[in-house]
Structure 1
Amino acid sequence: MKMLRRRSSVSLDDRLNGLAEAAELADGRLEAGVVAEARSVVSRAGVRRSLSVDHTVVALAGATGSGKSSLFNLLSGTSLATVGVTRPTTSAAQAALWEGAGSGPLLDWLEIPRRHEVTAADPTRGSGPEAVESGRAAVASGPEAEGGRAVLASGPGGWADGDAAGLILLDLPDHDSIELAHRLEVDRLVELVDLLVWVLDPQKYADAAVHERYLRPLARHRGVMVVVLNQIDRLTPAGAERCLKDLRRLLDEDGLAGVPLAGVSTRTGTGLPELRSLLASRVADRRSWATRLAADVGTAADALVTASSGVDTPAGGPGRSGTGEPDAASGAVATVAPEMSTDGLAKLLTVALSEAAGVPTVVEAVARAHRHRSVAATGWPLTRWIRRLRPDPLRRLRLGTTEVHGPTGPVGRTSIPVTTAVQRSRMDTAIREAAGAASAGLPAPWAAAVRRAARSHGDELEDGLDRAVATTSLGVARRPVWWRVAGLAQWVVFAVMLAGVLWLLGLVGLDYLRLPRPYLPTAGELPWPTLLLAGGILLGLVIALLSRGAAWLGGRRRARRAARMLRASVDEVARELVLAPVKEELSRYRRFTEAVTVARDATP
């Protein structure tokens, strides 16, 4: 199998369309949860693009005690987030908006809970720890607040005018909260936000919970991720450098090479200007939402490929290697389906289906029917009526009669013997072998789908074969010309024989009446009446024997022709009821691989 060649750049619209098509084609073939997630990504992307693309939703995520709420207050210049050391401290997401006109539908989609009391720092107080403390007592003089959403001007949080325009900053609940609802809220918002800022601390930056549950599975999202090591003021400069190097190593192992890593201190303000500058550049770019959606599409496409291959998910996430790139195993799954040789598979099926359909019985009946009708048409006139008393082999099978063939086709089943258990077993084996040959080289889920497709019309197969045999023109309706010639010759010979018989009877009558005999011509020493009688009988037998020989040869010829016609009809049934569904399934897989390859394109 050959790998599909990727295009160098695919638009987000094309990738979303590819993912939607791949999910539709995979429905009923791959794991339902994976297909549902792919459809959810398409739906979520459609909603996100319909909302404000001028806003960038940045979420601060981290564990209890990492200092993300303090960082949120410093960046926003508010006291909206409660800072503490108890678990959990942050129980619901908080939002701070900079010049947030038009962001309402976006925040409604994010389902940020509304609160009745919001504190915010005075924009004139600047930023830093002092601003946080002063903000707690400056609710009245703070910016306009809408429920739990603090709407800020450009100044609060130490941002230069216009730098934070369009920024929506979220403080998420603790991902390690003892409350299940808090963890579920984190999982929900992590799927929706445009840019993720993971806030870690020196004590738990290597915690497996955050690496295995979030960072590693989000390797595709490294373009919309920032990692912050907070509380570096608790370390010596050398210790802080060692921690940052070790954290960088862990991130590289998670497939997050190149993800920005910043060391900050919410107590001293170290690293905050650099973090603001990084966030400001992402907000100004106005492309984080598209990058996020592209990463979601890639992850969902990787999951489809992994589910299609049936292999275990690598550590880097669905269809991912540790480097965050599609690994060889999962990438090899997205291949073109093998071209199916329908002629070869049809031949494989036709033999078994022909036997199950009673084709050998019909072929033999065609030969016997030809001989039967030939004898009835060319036999000795005195005895041919006896032949007509015998049943016609084809009529016994209800073939070639008006009982089966009406003006619009067959009107009843034939009388061919029912399929035996042995014939049915051979037919099932042939179907299974054909499906196996057609699905050779396909991933297990798609090979199983091909096998199901081959049997999808199993209930119709026997009736379809019977109809095919009943409607096939066997070529027995046309009477050969020589039948009429031989039949006419038999009547002539019979007339000659009858003339001889009458002549002899006349002579016997004259002898009985003692009348003088007329002149009796002879042929040599044999009288003509005797010659006519004996000659008529002998010629009649010779014509009958010759006709039987010709009928045997003609029966074989018609049987061969009928066999070809019947095999062609059975072949058509095999293609329609077995191979056509198989071919459609292979085409479906081929379209799936093409669509999922487009969806996995690395260019957002």
Structure 2
Amino acid sequence: MRPGRRAPSLDARLAALGEAADLAAGRLPAEPVERARAVVERAGARAKLSPDHTAAALAGATGSGKSSLFNALSGTDLADVGVTRPTTSAAQAARWDPEGSGPLLDWLDVPRRHTVEAGDAALAGLVLLDLPDHDSIALAHRLEVDRLVGVVDLLVWVLDPQKYADAAVHDRYLKPLARHRDVMVVVLNQVDRLPEAAVARCLDDLRGLLADDGLDGVPVLPVSARTGQGMPELRALLADRVAARRAWASRLAADAATAADGLAEAAGLTGETPPKPKGDQAAPLAGALADAAGVPQVVTAVAKAYRHRAATATGWPATRWLRRFRADPLRRLRVEGGGRTSLPASSPVQRAGVELAVREVGARTSAGLPEPWAGAVREAARAANDRLPDELDKAIATTSVDAARRPRWWGAVRALQWAVFAVAIAGLLWLTVLFAFSYLRLPDPPTPELRDIPWPTVLLIGGVLAGVLLALLARLAALLGARRRARKADKALRAAVAEVGERLVLAPAEDERARFTDFTARLTAAR
């Protein structure tokens, strides 16, 4: 936490933990996710119960003197005392202020309840539980201990000089509860059995073991339930914790941090996540998708269709009707029809190119992420691979390539072609009339000339030559227009294909990486 910045509230931490668990669902193993959700659910339930009561549990091994300590603190003989065998088979509670503690004990599922009459007023609000032995040979006892150790507000571990270093308590309970040092007290009971020097050595050794468990700084009190040694200090410590009315919140905060640690471990978080490598991922993917979708074939067809339609519209009227017998290259592909096109299926090489581009997107987007989240990003990138062919075909079919628009100059050239064709026809008819007069031996009608060439001949030859010249010029213009239209079609088609790649490949991968970023931010708040 940076200096000057306030730590998030408990409610904010728990909310962040719940959000982190939701984000991790389906990405991380189920166990840490469900554990985090259980912490959030348990916190919600505990927050609704009495904040004026602190549930403290005496936990320890067989023969550690838990029951004796329970009786000494409560000033009663409620708990049966044994030495070498378990005597506590089910948890029981002693409460100094019973009013309002019932719902809390109901939630803890502790039916055996006793009220301490005329007890220490400083302990008002304390609900003290005597738990079964954590090393009991009865499985039900161990399960009861595990359940209550996981929910009580304050943990008082009762150890004895013979078994305080037992790995069973350190490995199974104390190390996993390293985050709970603020709600933990360790009592070394039965110190009356040891010389004073030996007690000091045991305490030093015990503190060293606790430091190895991650519990450095946890209060360690030497106590004798039989002689009363250390009991005032233990009562004072419990009174301070009860008076603070914050043990339950500290417990929930520690639970949230522990659950967040579990999620972080499952996510493989070992440090700050490196930034995603820079570079354009869209261009290589769009190129591969465009090739597989048949964009080059469609662009070529657009150019050919433009030239074909231009020749049909502007060619010499005497010959252009022959164009109608040729198939339109674009209509043959059924582009701009809205349904499926008639483009050939992509080749194996093209499909391999698409798969390689998709894998590259997944690899680059997941760069720096730990497993298994990196695998989730890669899976998100290729999740829609089966849909790509249909979506690409739909994009090609629904993208306007501007093929239906007829340039204005086509109409002008068409009108001019008809005009010169009419001139040629007029000259042909005139010559036909002259031929008929000559064939019938009639006097030749007067025929104007242009530099010794009869006007009918000028009209016929001039009209034909003008029509052919216009057709050639129109073809040249159509060639230039076809190139422009092909470039526009190529841009539009590649944009449509790129949108498919963005929607089905890039966006899912980026969303999954963003989900991981949100997950780590929530974990930071929860921890």
Q: In the alignment, what sits opposite 2:291?
A: 355
Asked whether the 8 Å contact 1:59–1:171 carries over to 2, the reply is: yes
Unaligned runs of 5+ in 1: 115-147, 311-328, 405-409
2:513 maps to a residue whose letter is: L
Asked whether the 8 Å contact 1:219–1:256 carries over to 2, the reply is: yes
1:39 maps to a residue whose letter is: R
Q: Does 1:153 align with 2:117?
A: yes
C-alpha distance in 1 between matches for 2:383 and 2:7: 40
Q: In the alignment, what sits opposite 2:83?
A: 85
1:435 maps to a residue whose letter is: G
Alignment root-mean-square deviation, CA? 2.1
Q: Cα–Cα, structure 1 residues 300 and 5, in superposed 2: closer, same or farther, change >3 Å?
A: farther
Q: Show the 5 A alignment for 1:133-532.
A: 148-155=112-119, 160=120, 162-309=121-268, 329=270, 332-333=271-272, 338=275, 344-400=280-336, 404=337, 410=338, 412-532=339-459
Helix, strand or coil at the partner of 1:30: coil
C-alpha distance in 2 between matches for 1:188 and 1:12: 23
CA offsets, 1:459-511, max 9 Å, x none? 43333222222222212222112212222222222222222222222222222
CA offsets, 1:331-358, max 9 Å, x none? x25x5x85797x9232232111111221
Helix, strand or coil at the partner of 2:387: helix
Please point out which of 567, 575, 583 is paired with 2:494. 567
Give the C-alpha shift of residue 266 in structure 1.
Answer: 2.4
Q: Cα–Cα, structure 1 residues 413 and 577, in superposed 2: closer, same or farther, change >3 Å?
A: same
Unaligned runs of 5+ in 2: none
Give the C-alpha shift of residue 5 in structure 1.
Answer: 9.9
Q: In the alignment, what sits opposite 1:49?
A: 47
Asked whether the 8 Å contact 1:496–1:532 carries over to 2, the reply is: yes
Asked whether the 8 Å contact 1:200–1:229 carries over to 2, the reply is: yes
Q: Does 1:547 align with 2:474?
A: yes
C-alpha distance in 1 between matches for 2:213 and 2:45: 30
Q: In the alignment, what sits opposite 1:140?
A: none
TM-score (norm 1): 0.83
C-alpha distance in 2 between matches for 1:480 and 1:426: 38
C-alpha distance in 2 between matches for 1:49 and 1:520: 116
C-alpha distance in 2 between matches for 1:240 and 1:470: 87
CA offsets, 1:542-586, max 9 Å, x none? 222222221111111100011111112222222222233233323
Asked whether the 8 Å contact 1:99–1:166 carries over to 2, the reply is: yes
Sequence identity, in percent? 62
C-alpha distance in 1 between matches for 2:386 and 2:56: 58
Q: Cα–Cα, structure 1 residues 6 and 306, in superposed 2: closer, same or farther, change >3 Å?
A: farther
Q: Cα–Cα, structure 1 residues 580 and 595, in superposed 2: closer, same or farther, change >3 Å?
A: same
CA offsets, 1:412-452, max 9 Å, x none? 22222223333222222212212222222222232222223
CA offsets, 1:176-209, max 9 Å, x none? 1122221111110001111111111112111111
Please point out which of 7, 10, 31 is paired with 2:8. 10
Worse-superposed segment, 477-486 or 365-374: 477-486
C-alpha distance in 2 between matches for 1:217 and 1:27: 23
CA offsets, 1:396-417, max 9 Å, x none? 11124xxx2xxxxx3x222222
C-alpha distance in 2 between matches for 1:502 and 1:340: 78
Q: Does 1:557 align with 2:484?
A: yes
Helix, strand or coil at the partner of 2:122: coil
Q: Does 1:102 align with 2:100?
A: yes
C-alpha distance in 2 between matches for 1:473 and 1:7: 56
Asked whether the 8 Å contact 1:87–1:178 carries over to 2, the reply is: no
Worse-superposed segment, 225-234 or 251-260: 225-234
2:253 maps to a residue whose letter is: A
Q: In the alignment, what sits opposite 2:523?
A: 596
Q: Cα–Cα, structure 1 residues 56 and 154, in superposed 2: closer, same or farther, change >3 Å?
A: farther
TM-score (norm 2): 0.95
C-alpha distance in 2 between matches for 1:4 and 1:427: 46
Q: Show the 5 A alignment for 1:95-134.
A: 95-112=93-110, 114=111
Worse-superposed segment, 459-468 or 369-378: 459-468
Helix, strand or coil at the partner of 2:280: helix
Q: In the alignment, what sits opposite 2:27?
A: 29
Helix, strand or coil at the partner of 2:317: coil
C-alpha distance in 1 between matches for 2:509 and 2:313: 49
2:446 maps to a residue whose letter is: Y
C-alpha distance in 2 between matches for 1:512 and 1:284: 136
C-alpha distance in 2 between matches for 1:81 and 1:422: 80
1:347 maps to a residue whose letter is: A
Asked whether the 8 Å contact 1:99–1:154 carries over to 2, the reply is: no
C-alpha distance in 2 between matches for 1:347 and 1:388: 40
Asked whether the 8 Å contact 1:20–1:42 carries over to 2, the reply is: yes
Helix, strand or coil at the partner of 2:51: coil
CA offsets, 1:143-200, max 9 Å, x none? xxxxx21111243xxxx3x122111111111111122221111110001111111111
1:150 maps to a residue whose letter is: H
Helix, strand or coil at the partner of 1:375: helix
Helix, strand or coil at the partner of 1:544: helix
Q: In the alignment, what sits opposite 1:123?
A: none
C-alpha distance in 1 between matches for 2:277 and 2:316: 57
C-alpha distance in 2 between matches for 1:35 and 1:56: 28
Helix, strand or coil at the partner of 2:103: helix
1:492 maps to a residue whose letter is: A
Worse-superposed segment, 451-460 or 441-450: 451-460
Helix, strand or coil at the partner of 1:227: strand
Per residue, is there more helix in 1 or in 2? 2
Q: In the alignment, what sits opposite 2:464?
A: 537
Aligned residues: 527
Worse-superposed segment, 498-507 or 517-526: 517-526
